Amino acid sequence: MTTRETVSEEFSAIAREAVKGEAGMSALALRAMARAPKDLRAGVPGLEAAMEKCAAYLVSLQQADGGIVNPGAGLTTYRTSITIMALQSMD
């Protein structure tokens, strides 16, 4: 298996897990994928769609006070800031 195939499989696994739940971990995964070289991302089927789904999930977590966090999870400033960095990386 080539390095590209290994990275492709790892990104696919990360994308599947990222859309399942915790805001901070999802944002970290999204940011890593968004900052990967475009040619590497292009080799991962469904990655862009998974990234869009993850971004939409994170945006859906925005609270009335502007924080982006799973309700009751705590670490609001950390989770909000990493989410903002992840979303910015997608531009």
Highest-confidence segment of 7-11, 37-41, 53-57, 81-85: 81-85
Half-sphere exposure of 13 (CA within 13 A, CB side): 6
- pTM higher than 0.75: yes
Q: Enter the tokens of residue 1.
A: 């298996």
Q: Is the pLDDT of residue 74 over 90?
A: no
Q: Is the pLDDT of residue 76 over 80?
A: yes
pLDDT in tens, 29-44: 999 999 999 888 888 8
pLDDT of residue 72: 85
Q: In 3-state terms, what secondary structure has residue 20?
A: coil
Looking at residues 3-9, what average pLDDT do you find?
Answer: 67
